[in-house]
Amino acid sequence: MHGPEIVSAITNTEILSDGPIAVGTKFRETRIMFGREASEVMTIAKLEEPYRYPFTAESHGTAYVTDHVIETLPDGGSRLSIIFSGKAQTVMAHLLMPLGLLFAGSLKKQLMGDLEDFMRAIESKQVVD
């Protein structure tokens, strides 16, 4: 897991599961979110190498999915998309959903920053394995 080497907002990743990285592997990602350090435990939900890597997490009564999708383009290039979604799981999370919408723009900016960091790593031919 090379998150801190590639994405400037990620300060640390720690593998929490034994064995090779596979579906079900849990890891803790620590990053700067909204100007503060935050850690989440994530689980690799699926591995469709080299095309799709969805991670799941639960925080504050909400289940999140961050899906990394790589598409091959007709011109021979590739497109990396990060698709983020969250679904309230508790009554409190449902009640706070309107408040969460206030942060949608900041979250989009954060994800765009992640994409830009990935692009720089790819363009500089930084090895990611």
Q: Name the amino acid, one letter, at 70.
A: I
Q: Specify the pLDDT at position 20.
A: 92
Q: Specify the pLDDT at position 78.
A: 85
Q: Specify the pLDDT at position 89.
A: 94
Q: How far is residue 67 from each of residues 56, 60, 70, 76, 113, measured CA to CA in Å?
A: 8, 20, 10, 22, 16
Q: Structural domain boundaries of the chain?
A: 3-123
Three-state secondary-structure class, residue 26: strand
| CATH class of segment(s) 3-123 | alpha beta
Q: Name the amino acid, one letter, at 19.
A: G
Q: Specify the pLDDT at position 65.
A: 95
pLDDT digits (tens, 9 = 90+) for 60-89: 899 999 999 988 899 988 888 999 999 999
